[in-house]
Amino acid sequence: MLEHTTAAAEAGGGRAAASPLVNDFSIQVATANGSGSQSSNTVLLRALFQMGIPVSGKNLFPSNIAGLPTWYTVRASKDGWVARKKEIDLLVAMNPDTAREDVRALAPGAAVVYDAPLGLASLRDDLVFYPVPFDEVVAPVASEARLRKLLRNMAYVGVLARLLGIEAAEVERAIGRVFGQKAKARELNVAAARAGFEHAGALEKRDRLSVRRMDATAGKIIVDGNSAAALGALFAGVTVVAWYPITPSSSLVETLIGHLREHRVDADGRATYAVVQAEDELAAVGMAIGAGWAGARAMTASAGPGLSLMAEFVGLAYYAEIPVVIFDVQRVGPSTGLPTRTSQGDVLSTAFLSHGDTQHVLLFPGSVEECFSMGVAAFDVAERLQTPVFVMTDLDLGMNNWMADPFPYPDRPLDRGKVLSKEDLDRVGGFARYRDVDGDGIGWRTLPGTDHPRAAYFTRGTGHDDASAYSESPAVFEENMARLARKLDGARALLPAPERHGGGTAPVGILAYGSSHPAILEARAQLAAEAGLDTDYLRVRAYPFSREVEAFVRAHERVYVVEQNRDGQLAALLKLDLPTELVPRLRGIAHVHGLPLDARSVTDELLAKEAR
C-alpha cells in the first residue's frame, strides 16, 4: 500500500473543506497494472497542460506486466510545483483489490470517483463520493468485453473532465495525440471520454476541486528523463551503445535507438552508430569501454544491479583512463528489491565503484532539461578527463513525465579530448601515454589504427609507468596514483557548478541533488510561508564537488542534506571532502520508501529537526 500522511493532510483537509482548490490539487488513479490506464492518465495530464495549467504525472507502478495494483498521480499546480504532492485530493478507484484501503487512507474532505459496484460510499462519511457504473457507461461504445475493459479508463477521464471543468475539446485533442495515427482507437476513446463526460453531467458536484484555463505552459514540452537523456546522447554524437535491458533504464536506450534509426542513417542506408544488446551488464560496459578506447563516443545505461556487475570493468577503465558514459537510472535494491520504485541509493557505491582507490565522476541532473544537457556534457567530460562518467538519474526523473522548456541546441562543438593523430606524431616524434605533459594529470592518447609506427601503446590496468609499460615499482605506482588524484581534483572546476538558491545569508542551508530538486523548491516556500524560516539552497550537480560546496557549508550553521536514501550517501561523500570542522554542520533528511520525494515530508522533518 502506498504511504499516506494523516498529519499533513489534516492541515490541508480539515480547514480546506470550505475553500475551493482551483488549479491546485492532486488526483490519484488506482487501477490494475496492464489495464490500459497509462493512456488515460497521459490524456488527463495533457488536457490540463493544454489548458495552460502546470502539471506533473507520476506512475507508481509494480514490477509486473498485468494484474498487480498500480497508481498514477496527476498534480495540477497554479504555482508551478511539480514534485509529488503527498496529500491526495481526488481518488479514482478502479481497482477492487485496493479500493477500500485507498479510501481509508484519504484525508477528510477528499473526493472519490469509483466504480459503482465497489460500493465504497459506506466506508466513510467525511469524503465526497461519486459512484459511476463504468461498465454501463461504456456499454454503448463497444460491444467487445476486452475493449470495454480498456475504455472504462478513458471514461473516467470524461467523468473527471466534467467534474473538474477540463475542457472536452482539450481532452479530445489529447486523445488525438496519444493515439496518433490509430484512427479506430482514437475514435473509440473519444467516444468513451464523451460517454463519461455525459454521465457525469448527472452528478451533483460536491467537491472543491476545479480547473480554470491559465497561461503557464505556453511553449513548454512534456517529456520523461529517459527520453531527454537519450536525446542528450544523440546530440552528443554517440557512436557505440551497448546495453542490457533493466528497469528503469531500458526506455532510455530504446528511445535512443529510435532516434538513431531516424537521424543517423546515411542516404545509402548505412549507420553512423552501432547498438548492441549485450548478454549482460558485464559485457555491456566492456563493449562500451572497448569502444571508448578505440575512440568512439560510447555509452551504456543501467540501474543499480547492473552497476554492481560493472564494477571491475569500470575500475579498469578508471586506471587505463578510458572515456565511457554510463547512465544510472537509479531504483531500489538488488534482485527483486523494488525495481520499479525510485531511489538515490547508488551514489556512494558509484562514486567509488570497483576496488583499489577508484573514484569516479558523477553528474546529477535535477530536471529533464539537465538529463539532456548533462547527457551531452557527459561525453565531453569523459573524453576530456579520459575516465568513466556516470549520469545519475533515477526512476522518478527517468520514467515520469515532466514539464520543461524546450531543450536548446548544444552551444559548443564536441570536445574530443587529448588525442594525437598521425600528423601530430609525425611532428612530435612519439609520446608516452600517461605522461602529464600539461600539468593537469591528463595524458595524451592515440587511437588504435593510427598509421604511425610509434602510435601503439599497451593498455593495461593499475601497474604501468607513464609510457604504459608494465611496472610494479613502488615509486612508479605512487606517482601514477598521485597523478590520477590530481586529475580528479581538477575535475571539480570542469564539471557543472552547483546551482544556488536564496540570498546566501539565511541561517539554514539545504543541500540536495537530482530529482529531489522540485520538492526542495516547494519545501523552501512552505518553510518561509508556514514557519517564517528563510533558507538557502545549494543544488549539487556533480562529484567530485565544486569548491562552492565547501563555501556553502561554511556560510551556514546548519546544512540539511536531503536525500532519497537511508544512510545519507551524499552526506557521506561530503564528510570525506569537507574540512573536519565543517562536518558537524551537516544534518541528514532521509527519504526512503521508494516514492518520489514530496515537499511536505522535507518541510515537516526539517522543522522538527530545527525545533530540537
Chain residues 379-408 in contact with other proteins, contact rule CB under 8 A? 406-407
Tell me if 173 contacts other proteins by CB under 8 A. no
Nearer to other proteins, 456 or 608 (CB): 456
**HSE, side-chain direction, 13 A CA sphere, residue 356:** 17
Contact 186, 67 (CB under 8 A): no
- CA 42, 59, 600, 532 dihedral sign is negative
Nearer to other proteins, 117 or 449 (CB): 449
Coil, strand, or helix at residue 358? Answer: coil
Residues touching other proteins, count (CB under 8 A): 72
Question: Whole-number minimum distance, CB 517 to other proteins, in Å?
Answer: 20
Contact 512, 561 (CB under 8 A): yes
Q: How far is CA 603 from CA 268, 426, 600, in A?
A: 58, 63, 5
Q: 3-class secondary structure for 488-533?
A: HHHHHHHCCCCEEECCCCCCEEEEEEHHHHHHHHHHHHHHHHHHCC
Alpha helices in 514-591 (DSSP H): 517-531, 547-554, 569-577
Question: Whole-number minimum distance, CB 175 to other proteins, in Å?
Answer: 16
Question: Whole-number minimum distance, CB 428 to other proteins, in Å?
Answer: 17
Question: Whole-number minimum distance, CB 465 to other proteins, in Å?
Answer: 13
Residues 6+ apart with CB under 8 A from 40: 29, 153, 154, 156, 157
Question: Whole-number minimum distance, CB 494 to other proteins, in Å?
Answer: 20
Q: Which of residues 314-373 bind other proteins (CB under 8 A)?
A: 316, 320
CA distance linking residue 217 with residue 441, whole number of Å: 46
Question: Whole-number minimum distance, CB 177 to other proteins, in Å?
Answer: 9
Q: Which of residues 113-172 bind other proteins (CB under 8 A)?
A: none
CA distance linking residue 519 with residue 596, whole number of Å: 9
Nearer to other proteins, 322 or 606 (CB): 322
Question: Whole-number minimum distance, CB 186 to other proteins, in Å?
Answer: 17
Tell me if 455 contacts other proteins by CB under 8 A. yes
Q: Which of residues 472-491 bind other proteins (CB under 8 A)?
A: none
Contact 609, 589 (CB under 8 A): yes
Residue 69 backbone dihedrals phi, psi, to 5 degrees: -65, 145
- CA 341, 344, 345, 349 dihedral sign is positive
Which among 80, 25, 318 is positioned nearest to 214, based on CA atoms?
Answer: 80
Tell me if 461 contacts other proteins by CB under 8 A. yes
Tell me if 452 contacts other proteins by CB under 8 A. yes
Question: Whole-number minimum distance, CB 406 to other proteins, in Å?
Answer: 4
Grid coordinates representing 201? 453531467
Q: Which of residues 564-583 bind other proteins (CB under 8 A)?
A: none
Nearer to other proteins, 261 or 593 (CB): 261
Tell me if 409 contacts other proteins by CB under 8 A. yes
Nearer to other proteins, 286 or 498 (CB): 286
Tell me if 595 contacts other proteins by CB under 8 A. no
Q: Which residue has the cell 572497448?
A: 290
Question: Whole-number minimum distance, CB 447 to other proteins, in Å?
Answer: 6
Per CB under 8 A, the list member of 137, 174, 200, 296 interacting with other proteins is: 296
Binding to other proteins by CB under 8 A, coded x per residue (else -) over 190-219, reads: -----------------------------x
Tell me if 220 contacts other proteins by CB under 8 A. yes
Which among 571, 577, 516 is positioned nearest to 544, based on CA atoms?
Answer: 577
Q: Which of residues 256-275 bind other proteins (CB under 8 A)?
A: 259, 263-264, 266, 269-275
Tell me if 467 contacts other proteins by CB under 8 A. no
Binding to other proteins by CB under 8 A, coded x per residue (else -) over 89-118, reads: ------------------------------
Q: How far is CA 608 from CA 13, 169, 489, 589, 602, in A?
A: 21, 46, 37, 11, 10
Tell me if 428 contacts other proteins by CB under 8 A. no
CA distance linking residue 429 with residue 26, whole number of Å: 67
Tell me if 458 contacts other proteins by CB under 8 A. yes
Question: Whole-number minimum distance, CB 243 to other proteins, in Å?
Answer: 12
- Looking at 35-43, 163-171, 386-394, 458-466, which segment touches other proteins (CB under 8 A)? 458-466
